[in-house]
């Protein structure tokens, strides 16, 4: 392999007819060989190859998102005035570019205005999580506009009380599509680019019904259990690719008191992202 064309090469060594070598410094610093002396035989086109190697190395690093000052991007599927926007606010104040996703463009535009007024870099993209085609289209548009999505949060649930003997199979599947299948489809849209970068995070909003099912909330009980298992399955499947999958299991009603305030709960998403000590945080 021609070492000059290997974009991953950080130090390029050249030999001389006298058995001596010299090395470039990190190509990203654009420093040329400093140990050249009259005894060394340097080909006339050395500089041309050095420039090419530095250029390719820079492209490689940019594609992987390894430049320290590059702003990372988080997508919140299920943006809203409660938990969704507080997660966006938390990550935004930590330097993330925020992409809000929900169905209503008018409301999304208002949320973006609010976040922008707080100094947060925010955009929005409409999405309908009841449709796989809509999920794919929305994420494709977001990726084309903003590049790789470093963190994807799926904060969606159909909040509807129902009992098993009154529930139809069609209703059950409708809930499952939004609560679980949509989460998988959304994750599948960001995983390939995260795999390429060998870095990424998938975060999901879980619920206490996963462990304590209730007959009055049949679909929510079933779906939160399935979402919890999906999170753990993704964690196993993607760990070797450098991708973290985690879930915040909320055991109370969001906003019922100060402890369960959206702002407090949003901190746990940041905790999962930064610490990665466990794939689940139980908020109780």
pLDDT tens by residue, 173-212: 999 999 999 999 999 999 999 999 999 999 999 999 999 9
Question: Could you tell me the two tokens for 117?
Answer: 């007024």
- Cα–Cα distance measured from residue 75 to residue 56, given in angstroms and rounded to the nearest whole number: 29
Q: Are 232 and 182 in contact (CB under 8 A)?
A: no
SS3 content of the chain, % helix, strand, coil (to 5): 50, 15, 35
Q: What percent of the chain lies above the pLDDT cut of 70?
A: 76
So what's the pLDDT on residue 70? 79
So what's the pLDDT on residue 266? 98
Question: Could you tell me the two tokens for 154?
Answer: 């799926």
The structural domains of the chain, ordered by start, are 3-63 (no CATH), 73-283 (3.40.50.720)
- Taking residues 28-49, report their average pLDDT: 48
For 252, the 3-state DSSP assignment is coil
User: DSSP class of residue 165?
Assistant: G
């Amino acid at each position: 392999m021609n070492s000059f064309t290997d974009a991953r090469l950080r130090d390029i060594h050249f030999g001389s007819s006298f058995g001596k070598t010299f090395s470039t410094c990190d190509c990203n610093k654009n420093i040329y060989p400093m140990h050249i002396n009259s005894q060394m035989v340097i080909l006339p086109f050395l500089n041309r190859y050095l420039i090419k190697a530095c250029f390719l190395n820079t492209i490689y690093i940019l594609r992987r998102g390894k430049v320290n000052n590059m702003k990372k991007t988080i997508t919140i599927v299920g943006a809203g005035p409660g938990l969704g926007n507080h997660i966006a606010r938390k990550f935004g104040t930590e330097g993330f570019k925020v992409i809000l996703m929900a169905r209503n463009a008018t409301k999304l535009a208002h949320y973006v205005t609010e976040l922008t007024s707080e100094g947060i870099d925010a955009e929005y993209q409409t999405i309908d999580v009841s449709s796989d085609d809509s999920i794919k289209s929305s994420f494709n548009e977001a990726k084309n506009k903003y590049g790789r999505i470093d963190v994807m949060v799926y904060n969606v649930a159909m909040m509807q009380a129902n009992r098993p003997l009154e529930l139809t199979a069609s209703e059950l599947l409708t809930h499952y599509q939004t609560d679980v299948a949509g989460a998988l489809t959304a994750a599948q849209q960001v995983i390939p680019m995260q795999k390429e970068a060998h870095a990424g995070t998938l975060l999901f909003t879980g619920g206490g019904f996963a462990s304590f099912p209730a007959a009055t909330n049949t679909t929510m009980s079933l779906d939160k259990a399935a979402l919890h298992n999906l999170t753990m399955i993704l964690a196993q499947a993607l760990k070797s690719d450098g991708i973290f999958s985690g879930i915040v299991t909320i055991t109370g009603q969001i906003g019922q008191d100060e402890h369960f305030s959206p702002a407090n709960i949003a901190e746990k998403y940041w905790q999962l992202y930064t610490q990665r000590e466990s794939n689940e945080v139980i908020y109780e």
